[in-house]
Amino acid sequence: MELMELLKLRRTYRRFKQEPISDEIIDEMLTAARYASSAANLQPLSYVVVKSQEKVKEVFEHTKWAGYLPKEEGQPKAGEEPVLFIGIIENENINRGQYCDTDAGLAISNMTLAAWSHGVGSCIIGACDKAELSKMFDLKEEQKLHTVVAFGYPSHTSKMEDAKDGNIKYYLDENKDYVVPKRKLEDIVKYL
């Protein structure tokens, strides 16, 4: 897949087939995250991989999905849940928060692109019970949960369209597929 096509098609997915993701693909996703640039090359991030289905269900219970949609439409139903979560962990002894959001964004982008190159969809989740998940992940005092990312083979499509009248709220079409409005290039770029 060409890079621009990969970037265009790597969207957020919120309903998944219940097919496991191979260890080889998971390792490639984590390697891609490890390859990400890091401010001052501090590399403050580590990862918790949740792949046992019992633990995946526990993590799922502490996440919120699709804030623009009513819960009954945005929350994955039984049989649509992700099959894998990866927790993005910040070590505050290494990076005390400075540039960590940038580092995490770069690592997550690499990870989700690597996943999508194998047809594995993802959903980046900031709306979660970080205190409960931190306990579940057995984090040390200097470790802080930054984000969790859900993964699985999508059971729906997700496509972009140009935003109309500044409305950027995603929605479900008549087939229950996600449509994600994006601001037009001329609305977000200024050339000097």
8 A C-beta contact, residue 148 and residue 88: yes
Do residues 168 and 76 both lie within one domain? no
How big is the chain, counted in residues? 192
Do residues 77 and 107 both lie within one domain? yes
Do residues 25 and 73 both lie within one domain? yes
Do residues 43 and 93 both lie within one domain? yes
Range of the domain at 99: 3-156
Residue 183 belongs to a domain with what CATH number?
A: 2.20.180
- Number of Cβ within 10 Å of residue 74's Cβ equals 17
Q: What is the pLDDT of residue 74?
A: 87
Do residues 29 and 52 both lie within one domain? yes
8 A C-beta contact, residue 42 and residue 95: yes
Do residues 124 and 170 both lie within one domain? no
Q: How far apart are CA 13 and CA 21, in angstroms?
A: 15
Residue 10 belongs to a domain with what CATH number?
A: 3.40.109.10
Residue by residue, pLDDT tens for the chain (192 residues) are: 799 998 988 999 999 999 999 999 999 999 999 999 999 999 999 999 999 999 999 999 999 999 888 888 889 999 999 999 999 999 999 976 678 899 999 999 999 999 999 999 999 999 999 999 999 999 999 999 999 999 999 999 999 999 999 899 999 999 999 999 999 999 999 999
Do residues 76 and 99 both lie within one domain? yes
Do residues 102 and 173 both lie within one domain? no
Return the residue matching tokens 């949609």: 69
Do residues 180 and 125 both lie within one domain? no
Q: How far apart are CA 118 and CA 3, in angstroms?
A: 14
Contacts of residue 96, defined as CB under 8 A and 6 or more positions apart, other chains included, come to none
Q: Give the helix ranges, DSSP H, for the chain.
A: 3-9, 23-34, 53-60, 71-74, 92-95, 100-116, 130-136, 185-188
Total domains in the chain come to 2
The set of long-range contacts for 167-173, using a CB threshold of 8 Å and a minimum separation of 24, is 169/68, 170/12, 170/66, 170/68, 170/69, 171/68, 171/69, 172/69, 172/73
pTM of the model: 0.94
Do residues 146 and 172 both lie within one domain? no
Q: What is the pLDDT of residue 71?
A: 82
Do residues 152 and 172 both lie within one domain? no
Do residues 49 and 88 both lie within one domain? yes
